[in-house]
Every structure is written in C-alpha cells, then in structure tokens.
C-alpha cells in the first residue's frame, strides 16, 4: 500500500500497522481523492487492476474501469450522500484485467478527508461456488424419498421376474435361451441401479474415524490401475504431513473412485492421458453454515485433476444433480453420490473445468484429537 501523506512518530507506526492489515486482506481496497485519483491501493488492488500503486496513482479511476462503469456512479453517490453505498454483482471487467470480473462493491466516505472515498471490491467467484455447492446437497436429498420407494417397489417384483426367467430357461430352446438370458441380465442391471440409489435414502449418521487419506488414495489408485484406468498415468502430489481426515473410510473410497472413474472415462480419446491426485493443508478455508452463525474450518484439500476435454458446457451447472449424464451407459448418479457423501461429512466439492484441465476439488474437516487438549 502506498500512502502519499507522510507521518512521523506513533502515527507513523500506526500507519504501518494499518498498511500491514490492508495488505493482508484478500480483497482489493483503494482510496480515491477528490479528483477520483487512486491515491492509495493495497496489494490485492494492485493485482486486481494489474497495475502498480504508482501507475494507479497517476490516473483517475475511470482509466482502469470501463466507460460508464457502475463503480464510478457508486463513488459519485457516496460523495453526494456523504454515506456508504454497496452494490452487488457488478461486472467491472475490462479486456486488460480479464473479461468478466463480477464483484460486490463497498464504497464509503473516508473519515477525515472531505470528498475522499474508500472502495473495497469482493470477487464473487468463491462465494458463488459455495452457494452452488450448498444447493447440491438439496439436490441429493430430493432423491432420498424416491430411492427408498424404488427399493421397496422394484426389487421384490424384480426378483420374481428373474426367478421366472431362470425357470423358463431350463426348458427353452437355444434361441429362447438368449431371451431369458436377456431378461436376467437386465433385471440384474436394474437391481444394481436400485442398490446404488439406496445409499441416498440412508439417513443414519455416518460412522466417522480419523482416516489416513493417502491410504485411501493408494487403494483407489490400485483399483483404478488394475481396471478402468489401466492405460492412464496417475500422478500423486501429496503433502505427507497432512493430518487425518474425520470421515468414513469406505465412503471416501467411493468418492475418489467415482471421481477417478469419471476422469478416466473423460480421457478415452486423450493420447497423453493423465490423472493427478493432490492433497494439501489449507488452514484458512472456513465455511459458514446456512441459517446459523457457526463457521466450520475445512482445511483439508483433495483434488482429482485430468487433462481431458472438460465437462460439457450444457451440464456444468447441474452435473451434481442425479441422473445428469452424457454417457450412453451412465446412470448420472456418480457425482450426485459424491455430493451427498461430501455433504454428509460437512465438506464442500466444486469443479473447475476447461479443456485439458478439469479439477474436482474437495474440502473436508480435519480430525481434531480432543484428548490432546
Ligand atoms: N472429469 C470429467 N471430465 C469431463 N466430464 C465429466 C467429468 N466428470 C464428470 N463429467 C460429466 O458429468 C456427467 C455426470 O457424471 P456422473 O459421475 O454423475 O455420471 P456418469 O459418469 O455419467 O454415470 P455413472 O457415474 O453412473 O457411471 C458425466 O456424464 C460427464 O458428462
Ligand atoms: Mg460417473
């Protein structure tokens, strides 16, 4: 942060501390003088506008945002009213700083400088992703009732159909046997589908314990390499000092198996196909729980990345919903199940997809050993 006013003594020390605070903020903060020149900008603002503080200070704000930008009107309003004004979901993108940059704007008069205005921008991406993630949980839940009903109403008659087909098979001609075989195979397929859906109706609290994620990933990798991902390179980028995750081991295996399987299926036409598994510790990630004031810490980050063609645009916003699939033989339950399990664990999953780089990112709570206090 550059500050054009020089100070000495305790005021200077306090000024330096304020600069430290402002530079530690992840959100861009700027101070505008009466001519709208950017006379002060924290580190985040310099990187947002892709200009150093001295370049910023040489031009009025209008130079860095599009002509007629709502940001400029907002600043004028602050001066007129003498009070703060906020606006949400404003696009301040320019070709220079990147096409679409959706931000929330908080603008307020600077306390002791007439007509100076302080502006803070908050990028929407992360907040939006979290909102979206929270709705995935609802989507998974809506299958719950349906799944319970299906299990009852379909599995019993199916086993009758299957048994009858097997009886017929005993006295059937070769041609007819092909048909009875078809009946039993298809019945088995439906039973498998219903079994997969039954997981959604299981509302019992999950049994959790401290789990070593690297052992889980090793297991998934072995399964993948001996089957569906036989010809794909799997690269591990692990933080070996990672604390255990507080989870149900079997369910975690399911989550990663589904993600790695999707990646492998997306990579069928890629010649240099590779899947990267990463683990990292991010102590700063916190999520507020909707409807409460509670905030949970989700410091464990696991990613499954592939260099395939990416998730098709038309399903990007609802790929975690059940029955969304682009595959001829897909059920579209894989990611819905992943979202349900991650939600049951109090975690978050999100996807960032572009051609040659699709990342599914999971954030989960760490195991806290209470006896250690
Ligand atoms: N890594 C990926 N790259 C590209 N597209 C993906 C990837 N992962 C998922 N998708 C897309 O998301 C859709 C939904 O995935 P999901 O796992 O829920 O179902 P599915 O894989 O189609 O079926 P199933 O998991 O039952 O075999 C897929 O059909 C695919 O289009
Ligand atoms: Mg799948």
Task: For a ligand 1 pocket test, name from 327, 333, 349, 358 the mutation site with the most ligand atoms within 8 angstroms of its C-beta.
Answer: 327
Let me know: does 362 contact 339? Beta carbons within 8 Å. no
Q: How far is the CA of 216 from the centre of ligand 1 (A)?
A: 21
Task: For a ligand 1 pocket test, name from 261, 325, 361 the mutation site with the most ligand atoms within 8 angstroms of its C-beta.
Answer: 325
Q: Which two tokens stand for residue 290?
A: 């909707």
pLDDT at 308: 97
What order of strands is seen across the sheet that includes strand 233-237?
233-237, 274-281, 300-306, 357-364, 348-354
pLDDT in tens, the chain (373 residues): 544 444 456 666 667 787 888 888 888 999 999 999 999 999 989 988 888 988 999 988 988 887 778 888 889 989 988 888 877 777 787 777 766 777 888 889 998 888 999 999 988 665 565 555 555 555 555 566 666 666 767 877 888 899 999 999 999 898 899 999 999 998 888 888 787 777 777 777 888 999 999 999 999 999 999 999 999 999 999 999 999 999 999 899 999 999 999 999 999 999 999 999 999 998 766 666 555 566 677 889 999 999 999 999 999 888 998 889 999 888 888 999 999 899 888 888 889 999 999 999 998 988 877 665 5
Q: How far is the CA of 256 from the centre of ligand 2 (A)?
A: 11
pLDDT at 264: 97
Question: What atom of ligand 1 comes closest to residue 262's alpha carbon?
Answer: 8
pLDDT at 295: 64
Q: Which CATH architecture has domain 209-372?
A: 2-Layer Sandwich (3.30)
Q: How far is the CA of 331 from the centre of ligand 2 (A)?
A: 8
Q: Which two tokens stand for residue 227?
A: 């089957």
Please give the biggest Cα pair distance in the chain. Answer: 102
Span 9-123: which CATH code?
3.30.450.20
Task: For a ligand 1 pocket test, name from 312, 322, 335 the mutation site with the most ligand atoms within 8 angstroms of its C-beta.
Answer: 335
Pocket (CB within 6 angstroms of ligand 1): 258, 262-263, 266, 306, 308, 310-312, 315, 319, 324-327, 330-336, 358
Q: How far is the CA of 48 from the centre of ligand 2 (A)?
A: 37
* Number of the ligand closest to the Cα of 307: 1
**How far is it, in rounded angstroms, from Cα 1 to Cα 44?**
9
Q: How far is the CA of 332 from the centre of ligand 2 (A)?
A: 6
Kindly tell me the burial class for residue 171, based on how many C-beta atoms sit within 10 Å of its own C-beta (0-12, 13-18, 19 or more).
exposed
**How far is it, in rounded angstroms, from Cα 27 to Cα 314?**
31
**Cα dist from 40 to 30, 46, 92, 101, 316, whole Å:** 6, 10, 19, 21, 39
Q: 51 pairs with which residues across the strands?
A: none
Taking the model in full, what pTM does it have? 0.62
- Which residues hold their Cβ within 5 A of ligand 2, which is an ion? 262, 334
Q: How far is the CA of 229 from the centre of ligand 2 (A)?
A: 13
**Cα dist from 285 to 20, 35, 288, 360, 368, whole Å:** 21, 38, 10, 16, 16
């Amino acid at each position: 942060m550059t500050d054009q006013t020089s100070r000495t003594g305790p005021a200077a020390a306090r000024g330096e501390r304020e600069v430290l605070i402002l530079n530690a903020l992840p959100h861009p903060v700027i101070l505008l003088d009466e001519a709208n020149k950017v006379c002060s900008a924290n580190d985040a603002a310099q990187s947002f506008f892709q200009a150093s503080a001295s370049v910023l200070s040489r031009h009025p704000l209008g130079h860095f945002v599009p002509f007629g930008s709502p940001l400029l009107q907002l600043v004028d309003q602050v001066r007129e009213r003498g009070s703060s004004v906020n606006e949400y979901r404003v696009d301040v993108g320019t070709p220079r700083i990147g096409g679409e940059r959706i931000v929330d704007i908080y603008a307020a008069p600077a306390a002791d400088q007439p007509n100076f205005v302080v502006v803070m921008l908050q990028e929407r991406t992360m907040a939006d992703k979290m909102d979206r993630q929270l709705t995935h949980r609802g989507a998974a839940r809506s299958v719950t009732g349906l799944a319970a009903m299906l299990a009852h109403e379909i599995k019993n008659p199916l086993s009758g159909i299957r048994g009858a087909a097997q009886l017929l098979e005993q006295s059937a001609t070769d041609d007819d046997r092909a048909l009875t075989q078809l009946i039993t195979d298809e019945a088995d397929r439906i039973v498998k589908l219903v079994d997969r859906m039954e997981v959604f109706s299981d509302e019992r609290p999950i049994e959790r314990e401290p789990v070593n994620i690297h052992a889980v990933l090793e297991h998934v990798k072995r399964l993948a390499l001996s089957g569906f991902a036989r010809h794909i390179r799997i690269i591990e980028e692990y933080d070996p000092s990672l604390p255990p995750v507080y989870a149900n081991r079997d369910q975690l295996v399911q989550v990663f198996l589904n993600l790695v399987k999707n990646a492998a299926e997306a990579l069928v036409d890629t010649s240099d196909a590779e899947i990267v598994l990463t683990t990292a510790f991010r102590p700063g990630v916190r999520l507020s729980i909707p409807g409460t004031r509670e905030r949970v810490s989700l410091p464990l980050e696991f990613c499954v990345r592939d260099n395939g063609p990416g998730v098709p645009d038309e399903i990007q916003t609802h790929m975690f919903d059940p029955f969304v699939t682009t595959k001829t033989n897909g059920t579209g339950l894989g990611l819905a199940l992943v979202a349900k399990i991650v939600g049951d664990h109090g975690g978050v999953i999100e996807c960032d997809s572009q051609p040659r780089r699709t990342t599914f990112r999971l954030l989960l709570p760490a195991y806290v050993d209470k006896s250690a206090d």
